[in-house]
């Protein structure tokens, strides 16, 4: 055996011995989970890579209880009592290192910033633009996109062709973002495809951030390599956003996000900079497109499978059955440690609640938590509050998704139109949609037919 080989094996042996000692000495060594998760993040990486983690995570909790290990220093929590501790306003728990891979290295954005103070400052800059009262002034832009979507579905009705409902709802979501941001559709509903490669770029960015986030220390190097290879989804979307902003500034029109932002910039440049304006456009593409399309698709899928369910609470139940995000909302335990679900977690431990795990908690939502049953929400005010505290389709606390109201406005507009104007039917009622989790859990391949309703007497 040569010296080099000997040194390699020696180094590997020392590393393995160190991992083993850390595992058996850990005060959390009794916490259950996959065996490999005690020693390496590779098990979690594999789960994220394959896109199956939400269901693995649910199974782990149903087997082992409210606290399970997913990596040597990372734990998944399934406990409603933990929500205020981890995500409540003023909490000392900061975002976990996973988020750092969601952007340019060493340049925190409103999503990746782990510092509560700087995040609060940034969020305050934009908060008023994302309020429902502001969005209502852009209602006409959403209506234009709804009308265009209805026209496209009428074409399918006339031709008798089948189509992927998820795809067209994603096209609608992107074009709506274009209308309310820069007063023009991005052209997805017109073309029926991703002619600008923006959906592809966003998907690549999500793949990158979800996987590299498991090993965030590699992000600066891998980001640079991916950028050199011209395969950087983040830069692709950033370039697109920059082009849209520059184009809009040459011809400002309509009540839009950027129109309002530019007026603030002109009146108070210290309050909203040019960089902030670009951030608004990027936030809308990142936060407002996939979140909306996944939510819309979930609602329509549940209605197609349960066509009798047109009463109240359908939307709430559909967003419970298929929330947009599928990885834990990770947080770092602050100085002094914390007790969560009967376990003491030392300072620096990473913990988090996965929305899918929360929404399938049988103690909260009942033994039929896996079933679509809107009636579970039609209960007393006190009982509904108990459900609400573990209903997290848009996150929780100060880090609630900034695009939440965009999604809610789109839902309130497009769902009634589709139900009113069309009889939609699944091509194969027995075929479940394919899903893949890359932070967002996107549905695919929901083939449907459309038949225009006679609305004369409605």
Tokens coding 361 = 């908690």
Alpha-carbon distance values, 168 to 116, 173, 246 (Å): 37, 9, 28
Alpha carbon 64 to chain centroid distance?
26
What lies within 8 Å, CB to CB, of 25 at 6+ separation is none
Spatial CA neighbour of 202 closest among 114, 284, 299 = 284
Q: 434: which strand partners?
A: 444
**Paired residues of 71 in beta bridges:** 74
DSSP 104: S
End-to-end CA separation in angstroms for the chain:
84
For 87, 121, 183, 276, 288, the CA distances from 124, given in Å and listed in that order, are 18, 5, 24, 12, 18
Residue 401 annotated as binding?
yes
Distance in angstroms (rounded) separating the CA atoms of residues 213 and 105: 12
Distances in Å between the Cα of 159 and the Cα atoms of 77, 149, 452 are 50, 16, 12
- Sign of the alpha-carbon torsion through 406, 298, 113, 102: negative
CA 306 to chain centre: 25
Of the candidates 288, 286, 272, the one whose C-alpha atom is nearest the C-alpha of residue 238 is: 286
Alpha helices in 139-273 (DSSP H): 139-159, 165-182, 188-191, 198-212, 219-228, 233-250, 257-267
Angle between helical axes of 165-182 and 139-159 (0-180°, round to 10): 150
d(CA 398, CA 392) in angstroms, rounded, equals 13
Q: CA distances (Å), 292 to each of 288, 332, 348, 410, in order?
A: 6, 29, 34, 7
Binding residues for heme: 401
């Amino acid at each position: 055996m040569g010296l080099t080989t000997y040194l390699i094996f020696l180094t590997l042996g020392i590393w393995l011995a160190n991992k083993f000692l850390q595992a058996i000495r850990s005060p959390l060594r009794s916490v259950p989970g996959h065996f490999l998760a005690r020693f390496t993040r590779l098990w979690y990486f594999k789960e994220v890579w394959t896109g199956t983690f939400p269901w693995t995570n649910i199974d782990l909790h149903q087997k082992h209880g409210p606290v399970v290990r997913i990596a040597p220093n990372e734990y998944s929590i399934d406990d409603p009592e933990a929500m205020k501790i981890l995500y409540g306003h003023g909490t000392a728990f900061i975002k976990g290192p996973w988020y750092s891979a969601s952007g340019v290295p060493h340049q925190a954005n409103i999503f990746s910033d782990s510092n509560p103070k700087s995040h609060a400052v940034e969020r305050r800059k934009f908060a008023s633009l994302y309020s429902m009262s502001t969005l209502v002034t852009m209602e006409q832009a959403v209506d234009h996109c709804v009308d265009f979507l209805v026209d496209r579905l009428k074409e399918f009705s006339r031709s008798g062709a089948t189509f992927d409902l998820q795809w067209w709802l994603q096209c609608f979501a992107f074009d709506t973002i274009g209308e309310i941001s820069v007063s023009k559709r991005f052209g997805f509903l017109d073309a029926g495809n991703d002619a600008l490669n923006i959906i592809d770029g966003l998907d690549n960015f999500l793949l990158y951030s979800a996987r590299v986030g498991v090993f965030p220390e590699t992000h600066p190097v891998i980001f640079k390599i991916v950028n050199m290879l011209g395969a950087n989804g983040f830069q692709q979307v950033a370039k697109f956003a920059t082009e849209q902003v520059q184009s809009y500034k040459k011809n400002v029109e309509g009540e839009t996000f950027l129109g309002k932002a530019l007026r603030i910039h002109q009146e108070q440049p210290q309050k909203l900079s040019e960089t902030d304006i670009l951030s608004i456009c990027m936030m809308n593409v990142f936060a407002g497109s996939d979140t909306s399309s996944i939510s819309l698709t979930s609602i329509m899928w549940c209605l197609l499978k349960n066509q009798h369910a047109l009463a109240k609470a359908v939307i709430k139940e559909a967003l419970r059955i298929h929330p947009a995000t599928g990885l834990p909302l990770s947080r770092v335990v602050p100085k002094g440690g914390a007790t969560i679900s009967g376990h003491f977690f030392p300072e620096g431990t990473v913990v988090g609640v996965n929305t899918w795990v929360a929404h399938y908690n049988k103690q909260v939502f009942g033994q039929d938590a896996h079933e679509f049953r809107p009636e579970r929400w039609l209960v007393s005010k006190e009982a509904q509050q108990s459900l609400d505290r573990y209903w997290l389709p848009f996150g929780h606390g100060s880090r609630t998704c900034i695009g939440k109201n965009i999604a809610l406005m789109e839902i309130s507009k497009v769902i009634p139109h589709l139900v009113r104007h069309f009889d939609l039917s699944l091509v194969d009622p027995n075929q479940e949609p394919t899903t893949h989790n890359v932070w967002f859990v996107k549905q695919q391949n929901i083939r449907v037919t459309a038949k225009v309703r006679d609305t004369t007497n409605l």
